[in-house]
A and B are shown apart, each in its own frame.
Chain A
């Protein structure tokens, strides 16, 4: 049973427009959410994160929104650039006891930004 779901395998947007990538989760115990970007033949690169006590976090062109009641988060990229073309993974984690939990990843969304 997938705890983190990215229902759109791919997304295509025009350069300069907004890219919106979506992610849903089922485990209400998750308390931290992250987005990673991955180019072919490379490891995932950390992009941006958000704690469950917040509903928005912004870093330059990237903004993550969290809707806890809907168990939904989204990544907005504005403006989109061709170099943003990559696979984007949503991940979630939780603390329990004194241990830091591992990341649970979605299957990824392949973003293509066309010039």
Chain B
């Protein structure tokens, strides 16, 4: 069964350092999402791509976060510099575009980030 791949699974970094996460969506899924989940909360959208274009990055803290999906396939999310409040689970999801089944997003295993 096709899955969303993410790496690394765990990352510990010091405050003010740079950190990057990678995501490879399910083959053929044109829409890719990055979510952040803080403990005890539901996931919250950071950025949404349709192919290589950003559809929604209204909740992305652009002073320190950046995301790209250059060839419309895999994607990278970067934080520079990392802050203590960035400690969270970073989840990538993908979906087929369109009505109905396009709403079903499939998530990767996530990257657990700890900023010290």
Chain A residues with a Cβ under 8 A of chain B: 4, 32, 34, 36, 41-46, 49, 51, 89, 91, 93, 95, 99-100, 102-103, 105-108
Give the docked Cα–Cα distance between A99 and B53 (Å).
Answer: 12
Q: How far is the CA of A4 from the CA of B37 in the complex (A)?
A: 15
Known contacts A91-B42, A100-B98: A43-B103 contact under CB 8 Å: no
Interface size class of B (residues with CB under 8 A): 20 to 34
Q: B43 at the A/B interface (Cβ < 8 Å)?
A: yes
Judged by DSSP, the binding face of A is strand
Q: A6 — nearest CB in chain B belongs to which residue?
A: B42
What is the bound-complex CA distance between A91 and B45, given in angstroms?
12
Whether the Cβ atoms of A100 and B104 lie closer than 8 Å is: no
Q: How far is the CA of A45 from the CA of B48 in the complex (A)?
A: 19
Q: Which 6 A-B pairs have the closest CB atoms?
A: A105-B42, A43-B107, A102-B45, A32-B103, A43-B110, A44-B107
Please, which residues of chain A bring their CB within 8 A of the CB of B110? Answer: 41-43
Within 8 A of A (CB), among B71-116: 91, 93, 95, 97-100, 102-110, 112
Chain B residue numbers with a CB within 8 Å of A93 are 103
Interchain nearest-CB distance for B88 vs A (Å): 13
